Structure formats: C-alpha cells, structure tokens
Amino acid sequence: MELIWMIVVAVVIVYLIVSTVLFLFPTIIHRDHGNKVGSLKISAHRGGAGEFIENTMPAFNHSAQLGVDMLEIDVQETKDSVIVISHDNDMYRSTGQKGLISETLFNDLPPYSNHLFLQFDRVQCVSSQADYSFVKLDDLFEYHKEIVIHIDTKDGKPSLVNSVSELIVKHDRLKNTVWGNMSEAKNDLCYSVNPDITMFMSIRKVIFTYLMFYLGLIGFYPMKESVFDIPMPSSILEQFRDVLSGWQKILVHIAHFLMMNRLLFWHLRRRGIKVVVFVLNKEESFSAAEKYNVDGIMTDFPSRLIKYHNDKKENNGSDVGETSQILGKVEE
C-alpha cells in the first residue's frame, strides 16, 4: 500500500513539473504560430456597423480611412455562386424584403436598408448614404488589399469555403486574412481546404481551451488556430443592466471572472495566438479590456476606439512631460 502511494505521489510531482514547464514554454512541443497576421488592435465589426450600414462598401471605406487594423465580416453564397458579404442568409433584417441570399441571383439582390439595429448595442444605425448594395468579397479584396480581413464562413458549405479560399489565394491574402467558423466541423473544413490561412477558434474549441486551462492541461493541448475570439461578459452588463435579473447579473460576473484571465492570455501569446474580444462599443469597455492585455478589440464604432487610443497617447505624453518638468525643477 505504501508503494502505491509513493507511485501516486511521484506521478503527481512529475505531472506538476511537466505541466508547469509546458505552460511556461509551450513551443517545446507545440508549433509557434508566430503572429501569422499583423496587428489586430482595432477591428471594425461588420465593417463598423455603428457608423455606416453593416457589411457595405461605405462602412469598409470609412473604417479603412480611419486606419483600423482589421475588418470583421461574414460571407454568404448567392444562387449563382457569388460570394457576398452578409451576416444573414435571410435578407429580411438587412433589406426589409423576404428571401434568402442562397436562393437569389447576385444581380437580383435588393439594397441594404438605411437603418439597422445593432446586435451588440441598443441603438440603431441610420445613414443617408446612397450606395448600400451587397458587396462581393472579390471587390472588397480588390479595394482593400493591405488591411487584415476576418471572415466568418457562416453556413460553411463546401462550395462557399472553396470559393473563399480561391479568392484569398487569387488576391495573395494568405498573410492578412483570418477565417473560420463558430462550428468545429465547419472550422475543420476550412482547415482541410487550405491549412495555410490563419484561423480563429470555434465555440467548442474556445470552451475546451478554458476547460484545459482550469484542469491544468493547457500545456498539453494542441491548437491549430492562431486567433482566440471571445466576448467580454462585463460589457453585457453595461448594455443590458436594466433588463437583467439579479441571478443573470451574478452569472455574468462569474463568466467574466472565468473568461477574462490574464494568465491564460499570457500563455496563448507565448504560442503566438492572438486574443481578440468582441463586441465593445464604449470607452469603459475599451479600458476594461486593455487591463487584461488583449491583442485586439472588435467594435461597431471604430472612430470611438481610435479616439480612445489617441486620447490615451496624449494623456500619457502629457504625463511624461509633467514628470520631466518636475524632475528638471528638482535637479535645479
């Protein structure tokens, strides 16, 4: 019996040592993702859905002119196999007309409505821009060659995934495109079609990542994806505090405590995996997210996020200037 306990203790000690080493130095056994894409610091969700109508060229052009690092989009496939940018296959929410994109020819697609409610904010985007036609992914790649584009393949049909991959290769965008799907099976399809394109994690993979972390097994867990997209639960309270019950608020606080973990984020960065939080629209949320050292923030209001960063730089600059003046007076 004593021998058995000695073996158990020895196994536990070896496990703790190996687990700690792999947590600190994961690239001993895992591939270093090496920051395959550029900066993802400022990302325009659906092109910046709070400032121009989502997933339209005016939104993309506006965000690109602001200088965002990434455009986040969703894609669908028309009846005549054209890849267009749209969150929904059902057109009613975005256009006011009934029908599915998958059952409509590209030239027959109606224009977007000039007023849409935001999914992650309790406001409506209203714009007087004239051109709110559906955008081809091919055209977006052509007009915005350098900016990183984050693509959700939505229904993830093989024909759509193959077409998106072909467009990425055609426009030489392997180094500045992130793609994937919330479904693990559809994410696997993306990887099988083109493993050279940077991927974000599916919902299942994100959950398993947290599970492995809290079980102390994260160092053993393989990850082929290079971007870790997660919501920041505390932002839900900011938007919906008045409609959430007491228990719901408690659950949100617990989720925030478990999900926003600096130690996990540090480990992921050691692997070259970038952490991006979505969708934050207020300065309080921007500031809260930065405290966790995330790599990027997705927002419907890119101008707000850019202003936040610019104001922060100016304040830091003035702080440095004031410190220099004080030190100068002390030396005198």
Q: Could you read off the pLDDT tens digit of each residue along the chain, which spans 332 residues?
A: 777 888 888 888 988 898 899 999 999 998 888 767 888 999 999 999 999 999 999 999 999 999 999 999 999 999 999 999 999 999 999 999 999 999 999 999 999 998 888 887 767 777 766 678 999 999 999 999 999 999 999 999 999 999 999 999 999 999 999 999 999 999 999 999 999 999 999 999 999 999 999 999 999 999 999 999 999 999 887 777 778 888 888 999 999 999 999 999 999 999 999 999 999 999 999 999 999 999 999 999 999 999 999 998 888 765 544 434 433 443 44
- What pLDDT sits at residue 325? 47
CB 148 within 8 A of CB 70: yes
Q: What is the pLDDT of residue 129?
A: 64
Cα 76 to Cα 286: distance, rounded to the nearest angstrom: 30
What per-residue confidence (pLDDT) applies to 11?
Answer: 86
CA torsion sign for 216, 219, 224, 225 is: positive
- Which two three-digit tokens encode residue 305? 């996020």
Beta bridge partners of 117: 124
> How many C-beta neighbours within 10 Å does residue 309 have?
15
**What count of residues does the chain have?**
332
Whole-angstrom Cα distance, residue 74 to residue 54? 10
- The alpha carbon torsion through 317, 322, 328, 329 (nearest 10 deg) reads 170
Residues contacting 143, CB < 8 A, separation 6+: 57, 60, 61
Which residue, among 283, 282, 266, 285, has the nearest Cα to 274 in the 3D structure? 266
Are the CB atoms for 36 and 272 separated by under 8 Å? yes
d(CA 161, CA 26): 31
What pLDDT, on the 0 to 100 scale, is given for residue 211?
97
Separation of alpha carbons 259 and 88, rounded Å: 28
Q: β-pairing, 148-152 with 70-77?
A: parallel
Q: Quick one: pLDDT at residue 316?
A: 79
Give per-residue burial for 85-113: e unless 16+ CB within 10 Å, then b: bbbebebeebbeeeeebeebebeebebbb
Which of 171, 163, 168 shows the shortest CA–CA distance to 150? 168
Give the model's pLDDT for residue 329: 41
pLDDT at position 318, please? 55
Residues forming beta bridges with residue 178, ordered by sequence position = 150, 198
pLDDT at 2: 78
With a CB cutoff of 8 Å and minimum separation 6, the contacts of 147 are 64, 68, 69, 70, 71, 176
Beta-bridge partner residues of 100: 90
Half-sphere exposure of 264 (CA within 13 A, CB side): 22
Record the pTM: 0.90
What does the buried/exposed string (b/e) look like for 136-175 if buried means 16 or more CB atoms within 10 Å of the residue's CB? bbbebbeebeebbbbbbbbbbeeebbebbbebbeebebee
Q: 259, 251 in Cβ contact below 8 A?
A: no
